[in-house]
Amino acid sequence: MNNLLAKPLINSWIIATWDEYIQQLDNLKDQYLKSYYYQGHMRVEMSPVSFDHGQDHVMIIFTVNLFIALRQIPATGLDTTTFRKSGVRECQPDVAYYLGENARTIPSGTGIVNLDQYPSPNLVVEISRSSLLDDLGIKRSLYEDLGIREYWIVDVQKPQLFAYSVANLGSQRITTSQVLPGLEIGILEEVLQRSRHNNQAEVGYWLLKRFQQEQS
């Protein structure tokens, strides 16, 4: 057993067996941290603390939930949930959605979502302040291998949003969501930008009118 269990490296990918990774999680269970496992490496991230990160997190969820409600798209949204393919991969995206026929796939009372038993989410979102390059690189490969259909990355610093459609173990940049047909990525970016200067009620009212105009 190496000494990574005694002193974990935060926000870095380090070599570890699956058993070492699980033991590390047990050691850190009283701390609020995000964790990932991929290609024989583990990563532990500090929980976000910035105002902009929290605000963007809320606004992305609000925008998606309003869109799916108006379009009556069956959906189950999840906040910082663990998805595990035991012995191989694990992730804790900031936001995840099961959509359409998958909306009722995961039963209530489930803890860690076992991807050997259940399908992967249709959409995952990472809110990035200091982890942008990692989210664009290694995590994108992780989500490709997990079979996620769509992956969004919010760059808190700009703010801007990178969106990728995933298929055949690869991904391609998109400007309109494929899993939420009709939702333009540009609208999501405008929501983030407006929230920097307007309160959330004002942004929400503007967004509601925008979606209603598109439906009329």
CA dist 50 and 48 (Å) reads 6
Q: What's the confidence (pLDDT) of residue 205?
A: 97
Burial class (CB in 10 A: 0-12, 13-18, 19+), 105: middle
**Region label for 11, one of left (φ > 0), alpha (ψ between -120 and 50) or beta (otherwise):** left
Per residue in 13-72, pLDDT tens?
A: 999 999 999 998 888 775 668 899 999 999 998 776 689 999 999 999 999 999 999 999
Q: Do 173 and 136 contact (CB within 8 A), yes or no?
A: no
Residue 63 CA to residue 67 CA, distance in Å, equals: 6
Question: Would you say the pTM of this structure is higher than 0.95?
Answer: no
How are beta strands 83-85 and 113-114 bridged, if at all?
Answer: parallel
Tokens of 117: 């038993």
Three-class HEC string of 155-209: ECCCCEEEEEEEECCEEEECCECCCCCCCEHHHHHHHHHHCCCCCHHHHHHHHHH
The DSSP bridge pattern shows strands 113-114 and 75-79 to be unpaired
Residue 114 pairs in a beta bridge with 84
Residue 154's pLDDT band (cuts 50, 70, 90): very high
